Amino acid sequence: MEISIIGLPGSGKTTVFNALTKCTAETKLHSSGGLTTNPAIAKVPDERVTKLSSIFHPKKTTPAEIKYVDIGGLGKGFGKEQGISGQFLNILSTADAILQVVRAFEDENIPHVEGKIDPLRDIETMDMELIFSDLIIVEKRLGRLESSLKGGKGAERDLAFKEQDLLNRVKSALEKNIPIRLQKLTPDELRSLSNYQFLTAKPMLVVINIGEKQLNGYSATLEELKQKYTQPQVELISMCGKLEMELAQLTDQEAEEFRKDIGLKETAFDAVIKHSYALLGLISFFTVGEDEVRAWTIRKDTPAVKAAGKIHTDIEKGFIRAEVIHYDDFIKSGNMAEARKRGLLRLEGKTYIVQDGDISHFLFNV
Ligand SMILES: Nc1nc2c(ncn2[C@@H]2O[C@H](COP(=O)(O)OP(=O)(O)OP(=O)(O)O)[C@@H](O)[C@H]2O)c(=O)[nH]1
Ligand SMILES: [Mg+2]
């Protein structure tokens, strides 16, 4: 699972990336030179993992993870409707979701490419870039279909015709500046489009990068923005990138005290990562024991046998059954022995759909 970070030059991409991954990549204005990509892992904050760890006292505690990729060196021309191509497009195409950083912070020393600070304008500019890129992909594919229609016959030809019709509809909507997320397509059509990795079809988290002075007073503006910009699979959230980046370098305890001191109610860092996780349709199940308490990441609607395979392919191959208790039931019982006594541990088979917060123990033979 990978989330690519995009945004206009100097919007604070690297700053936000550092905040999320606790990295210390250099932030500077208009980094020049070629395209750079910097991947790093963020740990998904989950109070349930912390709680389970305090109960089992394991040797090791492993939270779920999510990978962010910071993209730099887009150059000043980016955002001028040139579309995204080449290596940059390749990177973005393989991403499972996009995190778009939008500048809202005011700082005279850091000029905005467009002069005035205007988050909505910047979001729309980025939409245009993404739409433009998708158009290029559609046109290329339509061109190739054209030639295969000439040679093909029978069922193959019918399929090509169907695809051509779909792509033509997508194209004319894109030409009206409608991202694929907002186009009226059936689930089947969306599925057949998924191979193309269209950028305007990907889930997107828009992080409005606010300044320190906007910390306690941006919520009304954010609400306004949300109303003006609503799309399925898109969420808007605000974060003070610079502050969060500084907090990321402190210990959890120090950071918490600092947040309390300046009266920050909610942790933007937690919120952004949790939103990323949810937007990707991911959930966590847990394994517990003296050795390790661990959160495992799966897609929603994953059957038990596949979830077991996340841990080890042998467990998937030799799957017998899963012993499952939901985190909430476990906490109510206090410990496993009590939970067992209360009959809260369930035995589930291969096809059981694992739920977020399930604590699972897999029985298998090799
Ligand atoms: N005052 C203030 N400055 C910020 C904030 N976020 C980023 N900056 C500054 O803006 C400049 C650019 O930040 P970066 O994180 O490097 O931006 P970027 O989008 O990665 O830039 P490129 O990779 O060059 O496109 C740096 O000087 C940051 O310190 C913020 O919340 N407040
Ligand atoms: Mg950067």
Quickly count: other Cβ atoms within 10 Å of residue 125's Cβ: 19
Start-end ranges of CATH 1.10.150.300 in the chain?
Answer: 130-200
Q: Atom 4 of ligand 1 has which residue's CA nearest to it?
A: 242
In angstroms, the CA 229 to CA 181 distance is: 13
Phi, psi at residue 348, to the nearest 5°?
Answer: -125, 150
Mean pLDDT, the chain, rounded, equals: 90
Which residues neighbour 68 within 8 Å (Cβ) at sequence distance 6 or greater?
2, 3, 4, 5, 17, 20, 21, 39, 40, 41, 42, 99
Q: Are strands 319-326 and 358-364 parallel, antiparallel or unpaired?
A: antiparallel
Ligand 1 center to 36 CA (angstroms) = 16
Number of the ligand closest to the Cα of 38? 2
Q: Computed from CA positions of residues 46, 47, 52, 53, in that sequence, does the dihedral angle turn out positive or negative?
A: positive
Per-residue confidence (pLDDT) for residue 150, from 0 to 100: 80
Per-residue confidence (pLDDT) for residue 85, from 0 to 100: 67
In angstroms, the CA 198 to CA 196 distance is: 5
Q: What is the DSSP letter of 353?
A: B
Which residues neighbour 171 within 8 Å (Cβ) at sequence distance 6 or greater?
135, 138, 139, 142
Closest CA to 209 of 235, 237, 236, 241: 241
Q: Would you list the DSSP string of 25-60?
A: ----TT--SS-EEEEEEEE---HHHHHHHHHH--SE
Ligand 1 center to 241 CA (angstroms) = 8
Ligand 1 center to 11 CA (angstroms) = 6
Q: Which CATH class is domain 301-364?
A: alpha beta
Q: Would you list the DSSP string of 247-293?
A: HHTS-HHHHHHHHHHTT--S-HHHHHHHHHHHHTTEEEEEE-SSSEE
Per-residue confidence (pLDDT) for residue 80, from 0 to 100: 65
Q: Computed from CA positions of residues 228, 208, 356, 264, in that sequence, does the dihedral angle turn out positive or negative?
A: negative
CATH code: domain 130-200 is 1.10.150.300
Is residue 103 helix, strand or coil?
Answer: strand
Q: Provide the whole-model pTM.
A: 0.89
Per-residue confidence (pLDDT) for residue 81, from 0 to 100: 60
pLDDT tens, per residue, the chain with 366 residues = 889 999 988 899 999 999 999 988 888 755 556 778 889 999 998 999 999 999 999 999 999 999 999 988 766 566 666 667 677 888 888 899 999 999 999 988 888 878 899 999 999 999 998 999 999 999 999 998 888 788 777 888 888 889 999 999 999 999 999 999 999 999 999 999 998 999 999 999 999 999 988 888 888 999 999 999 999 999 999 999 999 999 999 998 998 898 888 877 767 888 899 899 988 899 999 999 999 999 999 999 999 999 999 999 999 999 999 999 999 999 999 999 999 999 999 999 999 999 999 999 999 998
CB of residue 303 inside a 6 A radius of ligand 1: no
Per-residue confidence (pLDDT) for residue 108, from 0 to 100: 86
Count of residues for the chain?
A: 366
Query: What is the helix, strand, coil percentage profile of the chain, to 5?
Result: 45, 20, 35
CB of residue 79 inside a 6 A radius of ligand 1: no
Number of the ligand closest to the Cα of 240? 1
CB of 141 within 8 A of CB of 167?
yes
Start-end ranges of CATH 3.40.50.300 in the chain?
Answer: 2-117+202-279
Q: Would you list the DSSP string of 156-215?
A: HHHHHHHHHHHHHHHHHHHHTT--GGGS---HHHHHHHGGG--GGGS-EEEEEE--GGGT
Q: Atom 21 of ligand 1 has which residue's CA nearest to it?
A: 10
In angstroms, the CA 360 to CA 92 distance is: 35
Could you say which architecture CATH assigns to the domain 2-117+202-279? 3-Layer(aba) Sandwich (3.40)
In angstroms, the CA 203 to CA 108 distance is: 33
pLDDT digits (tens, 9 = 90+) for 75-85: 656 666 666 76
CB of 196 within 8 A of CB of 141?
yes
